[in-house]
Amino acid sequence: TCELDEQGVSALCTALVERSGAKPLRKLSLSFNDLGGHGGTFLAAAVKAGALNDLQELWFQKCSLGEDDGADLCEALAERSGVMPLRFLYLDYNRLSDRAAAALAAAVRAGALDQLVELSLWDCWIGDEKGAA
Protein backbone atom coordinates (compact mmCIF):
# COMPACT_ATOMS: atom_id res chain seq x y z
CA THR A 1 0.00 0.00 0.00
CA CYS A 2 1.01 3.63 -0.41
CA GLU A 3 -1.31 4.74 2.39
CA LEU A 4 -3.45 6.79 0.03
CA ASP A 5 -6.45 8.17 1.89
CA GLU A 6 -9.69 9.90 0.94
CA GLN A 7 -7.98 13.27 0.44
CA GLY A 8 -5.26 11.66 -1.68
CA VAL A 9 -7.68 9.84 -3.97
CA SER A 10 -9.66 13.05 -4.38
CA ALA A 11 -6.50 14.86 -5.54
CA LEU A 12 -5.56 11.97 -7.82
CA CYS A 13 -8.98 11.85 -9.47
CA THR A 14 -8.96 15.62 -9.97
CA ALA A 15 -5.55 15.35 -11.63
CA LEU A 16 -6.79 12.53 -13.88
CA VAL A 17 -9.70 14.68 -15.04
CA GLU A 18 -7.50 17.75 -15.61
CA ARG A 19 -4.73 16.02 -17.57
CA SER A 20 -5.27 16.55 -21.25
CA GLY A 21 -3.14 15.24 -24.06
CA ALA A 22 -1.42 12.78 -21.74
CA LYS A 23 -0.75 9.18 -22.69
CA PRO A 24 -3.84 7.06 -22.09
CA LEU A 25 -4.03 5.32 -18.74
CA ARG A 26 -4.67 1.62 -19.25
CA LYS A 27 -4.27 0.25 -15.71
CA LEU A 28 -5.14 1.82 -12.37
CA SER A 29 -4.36 -0.01 -9.15
CA LEU A 30 -5.49 1.57 -5.90
CA SER A 31 -5.80 -1.68 -3.97
CA PHE A 32 -5.21 -1.95 -0.24
CA ASN A 33 -5.62 1.75 0.51
CA ASP A 34 -8.19 3.11 2.94
CA LEU A 35 -9.96 5.51 0.61
CA GLY A 36 -12.64 6.41 3.11
CA GLY A 37 -16.31 6.84 2.48
CA HIS A 38 -15.99 8.78 -0.77
CA GLY A 39 -13.10 7.13 -2.64
CA GLY A 40 -15.41 5.31 -5.04
CA THR A 41 -17.44 8.47 -5.59
CA PHE A 42 -14.31 10.44 -6.54
CA LEU A 43 -13.27 7.71 -8.97
CA ALA A 44 -16.81 7.57 -10.37
CA ALA A 45 -16.61 11.30 -11.15
CA ALA A 46 -13.35 10.73 -13.06
CA VAL A 47 -14.96 7.86 -14.99
CA LYS A 48 -18.03 9.97 -15.85
CA ALA A 49 -15.79 12.85 -16.97
CA GLY A 50 -14.16 10.54 -19.51
CA ALA A 51 -10.76 10.68 -17.80
CA LEU A 52 -10.45 6.89 -17.88
CA ASN A 53 -11.82 6.09 -21.33
CA ASP A 54 -8.83 3.89 -22.19
CA LEU A 55 -8.80 1.99 -18.91
CA GLN A 56 -8.49 -1.76 -19.35
CA GLU A 57 -7.75 -2.80 -15.77
CA LEU A 58 -9.11 -1.43 -12.51
CA TRP A 59 -7.74 -2.85 -9.27
CA PHE A 60 -9.79 -1.53 -6.36
CA GLN A 61 -9.39 -4.30 -3.81
CA LYS A 62 -9.81 -3.64 -0.08
CA CYS A 63 -10.25 0.11 -0.51
CA SER A 64 -12.98 0.56 2.09
CA LEU A 65 -15.67 0.94 -0.53
CA GLY A 66 -18.95 1.33 1.25
CA GLU A 67 -22.50 0.98 0.11
CA ASP A 68 -22.91 4.43 -1.44
CA ASP A 69 -19.50 5.07 -3.00
CA GLY A 70 -19.29 1.46 -4.20
CA ALA A 71 -22.63 1.90 -5.91
CA ASP A 72 -21.53 5.24 -7.41
CA LEU A 73 -18.46 3.57 -8.89
CA CYS A 74 -20.36 0.57 -10.27
CA GLU A 75 -23.01 2.80 -11.81
CA ALA A 76 -20.36 5.01 -13.45
CA LEU A 77 -18.57 1.97 -14.85
CA ALA A 78 -21.85 0.65 -16.22
CA GLU A 79 -22.66 4.02 -17.85
CA ARG A 80 -19.23 4.39 -19.50
CA SER A 81 -18.47 0.76 -20.22
CA GLY A 82 -19.38 1.00 -23.89
CA VAL A 83 -16.69 3.66 -24.15
CA MET A 84 -14.14 2.08 -21.81
CA PRO A 85 -12.42 -1.11 -22.97
CA LEU A 86 -12.47 -2.44 -19.39
CA ARG A 87 -11.28 -6.04 -19.37
CA PHE A 88 -10.35 -6.66 -15.73
CA LEU A 89 -12.27 -5.38 -12.72
CA TYR A 90 -11.21 -6.31 -9.20
CA LEU A 91 -13.42 -5.08 -6.36
CA ASP A 92 -12.53 -7.75 -3.78
CA TYR A 93 -12.86 -7.16 -0.03
CA ASN A 94 -15.22 -4.18 -0.23
CA ARG A 95 -18.73 -3.81 1.16
CA LEU A 96 -20.89 -3.45 -1.95
CA SER A 97 -24.58 -2.63 -1.66
CA ASP A 98 -27.66 -3.94 -3.42
CA ARG A 99 -27.44 -0.85 -5.67
CA ALA A 100 -23.84 -1.68 -6.67
CA ALA A 101 -24.66 -5.32 -7.36
CA ALA A 102 -27.73 -4.29 -9.37
CA ALA A 103 -25.68 -1.80 -11.43
CA LEU A 104 -23.10 -4.44 -12.28
CA ALA A 105 -25.77 -7.02 -13.08
CA ALA A 106 -27.67 -4.60 -15.32
CA ALA A 107 -24.48 -3.71 -17.17
CA VAL A 108 -23.68 -7.37 -17.75
CA ARG A 109 -27.23 -8.16 -18.93
CA ALA A 110 -27.22 -5.18 -21.30
CA GLY A 111 -23.87 -6.19 -22.78
CA ALA A 112 -22.29 -2.97 -21.54
CA LEU A 113 -19.35 -4.89 -20.05
CA ASP A 114 -18.89 -7.09 -23.09
CA GLN A 115 -15.09 -6.67 -23.11
CA LEU A 116 -14.81 -7.75 -19.49
CA VAL A 117 -12.93 -11.03 -19.20
CA GLU A 118 -12.37 -11.06 -15.45
CA LEU A 119 -14.59 -9.76 -12.65
CA SER A 120 -13.55 -10.46 -9.08
CA LEU A 121 -15.95 -9.76 -6.22
CA TRP A 122 -14.40 -11.94 -3.55
CA ASP A 123 -15.73 -11.17 -0.05
CA CYS A 124 -17.81 -8.16 -1.16
CA TRP A 125 -20.78 -8.93 1.05
CA ILE A 126 -22.90 -9.87 -1.96
CA GLY A 127 -25.35 -12.46 -0.72
CA ASP A 128 -28.07 -14.45 -2.42
CA GLU A 129 -30.41 -11.49 -2.88
CA LYS A 130 -27.74 -9.15 -4.24
CA GLY A 131 -26.23 -11.86 -6.40
CA ALA A 132 -29.62 -12.75 -7.88
CA ALA A 133 -29.88 -9.23 -9.33
Q: What is the pLDDT of residues 21-43, one digit of tens each?
A: 788 999 999 999 998 789 999 99
Residues whose CB falls within 8 Å of the CB of residue 17, separated by 6 or more in sequence, listed in order = 45, 46, 49, 51
Which range, of 25-39, 43-57, 100-114, averages the lowest pLDDT?
100-114
Query: Sign (positive/negative) of CA torsion 30, 28, 78, 61?
Result: negative
pTM: 0.87
The pLDDT, as a whole number, for residue 130 is 46
> Whole-angstrom Cα distance, residue 47 to residue 54?
10
- Could you tell me the strand order of the sheet in which 88-90 lies? 27-29, 57-59, 88-90, 118-120
Q: What is the pLDDT of residues 59-98, one digit of tens each?
A: 999 999 888 888 899 889 888 877 889 999 999 999 888 8
